[in-house]
Amino acid sequence: MTEEEKARYFELLRFRSVGVDKTKQRDCVECATWLKTAFEDIGFSSSLRLPDGVSGPPCLYAERIVGPDAVTVLFYGHYDVQPPDPLGEWKSDPFEPVERDGRVYCRGAQDDKGQLFAFFCGMKRFLAASPDADINIKVLLEGQEESGGDIIWRVAEGMAKKLRADVLLVSDTNAVADLRPTIIAGLRGVCHFTVSLKGAKCDLHSGIYGGIAPNAAGAMARLLASLHNDDGSIAVDGFSNGIVPPSAREIELAEASSSGEAAIEADIGCRPCGGERGRSVVERNSFMPTIEVNGIHSGYGGPGSKTVIPCEALAKISMRLVPGQSPRGAFEAVCRHLESRVPEGLTLKIYEATGFSEGFRLPLDTPLFRLATEVLESMDSRGPAFLWEGASIPCVSMLSRVSGASPLLVGWGQPEDAIHSPNESFSIRQFDLASMWAERILGALAPEKKGINR
């Protein structure tokens, strides 16, 4: 990372582009505008895009087109970041980048501003060294990845012809231990929603009304517990319909790339015992769907006691989905399950459903994967690991479908980056590797023929 790159990186990090926070919409627009100028400064044409009649964080589209017969790359990233809460746990201002011991600390330092800007820097060096390179480069950046908004879906559907490409490059993922280069060969899909149970018109005195009024908090606990069997498997009829199991080869490669249960326990601070018993950590995290309770809110939670019967309970739920599952079908199966078990005296409401993205796994024996392997071997003699991520990037499957491009996901995140948590960081080494990857993969793709994804 040069001093100029670091200065520009810090400028980008200072934008408080929390896409989910409506009070930060101006910050998001200013961040997108900053990126628009950055791409224009290196010869791209660009524009900010929103669906008609919609307000929110805009998408940025930029392109450098040399001709119809050249290989076309579409790069996807996001400039929005997670909220910085809890603020009290940050060791420095979450939106004022600081460097300590070779790491940059700031919200978005890694996810995804760090990886996005590192790719930009590598691309800039590639184009400076090869200004006549026979490669079309398109860029689509969004401002709602962290909140599951649909702006990019509507923008992409409306410009499908313009987005046509051979390769979809994404740098928003992790590398395995010690930064061994890692190709993400699959991602789970995602859907999240809110569930409420409501009974009495207000919280009630637990002595006067105890044994009479239904308790929304207790009922919610029982309702959520019904989603899983005692062995941790999912108990929702129809939820797992259509699942395509992984091949023996995929499981073998995934197990070989795993850091192991001891390392995972050290990372998360407890035994990795969630999910269905009898399956390995890799199976549960990479190839099995999940239904997770993200939060429960009801009654009183302050100091001391407050003897009430809660009138309402809220739960936030997310589902991670695997290939073959229909996101809508899985969501509807959960809705039917919950609706059939509503406790007497309470009313169920399911709302704020977003995401609905499919999981996918990529074929390993393709010209694109072989080329990517060669590039990563030139960067690291160990060659790439292959990882089937349990996480989701909601729009990757959609962009692949709309653009016709084959996804190639190579990222440089590490557990110590603490993305989504206080004191998020990204090391200079990670930034430099991400930048080098961009420069080399574009250099390798430029001589290739259109249709490398077939």
266-316: pLDDT as tens digits: 888 999 999 999 999 999 999 999 999 999 999 999 999 999 999 999 999
Confidence of residue 193 (pLDDT cuts 50, 70, 90): very high
pLDDT, position 355: 82
pLDDT band at 101 (very low <50, low <70, confident <90, very high): very high
**Tokens 């993400």 label which residue?**
184
262 vs 166 pLDDT, higher one? 166
The mean pLDDT value for 219-238 works out to: 96
Environment class of 273 (CB within 10 Å of its CB; exposed 0-12, middle 13-18, buried 19+): exposed
Integer angstrom CA distances of residue 383 from 186, 374, 377, 379: 18, 8, 4, 8
pLDDT at 238 over 80: yes
User: How open is the CA angle 76-106-34, to the nearest 5 degrees?
Assistant: 50
Per DSSP, 343 falls in state P
pLDDT at 260: 83
**How far apart are the C-alpha atoms of 18 and 25, rounded to whole Å?**
8
Q: Give the tokens for residue 278.
A: 């009898």
Q: Which of 77-86, 164-173, 264-273, 411-420 has the lowest average pLDDT?
A: 264-273
What secondary structure letter does DSSP report for 161?
Answer: T
Tens of pLDDT, residues 125-140: 999 999 999 999 999 9
Query: Where are the strands (E) in 79-134, listed by range?
Result: 98-100, 103-105
- In this predicted structure, the answer to whether residue 424 has a pLDDT above a threshold of 80 is yes
Alpha-carbon gap, residue 42 to 281, rounded angstroms: 45
Which domains are delineated in the chain? Answer: 3-188+359-445 (3.40.630.10), 190-255+278-357 (3.30.70.360)
* pLDDT over 80 at 452, yes or no: no
Least-confidence region, from 16-25, 253-262, 402-411: 253-262
Looking at residues 31-54, what average pLDDT do you find?
96
Give 228's strand partners.
234
111 confidence band (pLDDT: 50, 70, 90): very high
Structure tokens given for 231: 């062995």
Kindly state the tokens that stand for 369: 């994967």
Q: Are 123 and 442 in contact (CB under 8 A)?
A: yes
Question: What does DSSP say about strands 425-427 and 189-198: parallel, antiparallel, or unpaired?
Answer: unpaired
Helix (H), strand (E) at residue 28? helix 25-41
CA distance 299 to 311: 8
Could you tell me how far CA 15 lies from the centroid of its own chain? 20
Confidence of residue 453 (pLDDT cuts 50, 70, 90): low
Confidence label for 418 from pLDDT (cuts 50, 70 and 90): very high
Read off the tokens for 181. 């280069």
C-beta separation of 140 from 395 below 8 A: no
Q: pLDDT-based confidence at 49, cuts 50/70/90?
A: very high
pLDDT tens for each residue of 326-375 = 999 999 999 999 999 999 999 999 999 988 888 989 888 899 999 999 99
**CA distances (Å), origin 272, targets 138, 258, 356, 420, 438:** 40, 13, 27, 20, 34
- The confidence score (pLDDT) of residue 186 equals 92
Q: Alpha-carbon Rg of the chain, whole angstroms?
A: 23
Q: Token pair of 51, please? A: 């669906």
Q: Judge if the upstream peptide bond of residue 230 is cis by omega within 30 degrees of 0.
A: no
- Taking Cα atoms as reference points, which of 291, 186, 193 lies closest to residue 235? 291
pLDDT band of residue 7 (cuts 50, 70, 90) is very high
Residues 363/386, Cβ–Cβ less than 8 Å:
no
From CA 59, how far away is CA 29, in angstroms rounded?
A: 9
The predicted model scores a pTM of 0.83
Q: What is the mean pLDDT of the chain?
A: 94
Helix (H) or strand (E) segment spanning residue 78: strand 71-78
Retrieve residue 397's tokens.
Answer: 């499957």
Confidence at 264, pLDDT banded by 50, 70, 90? confident
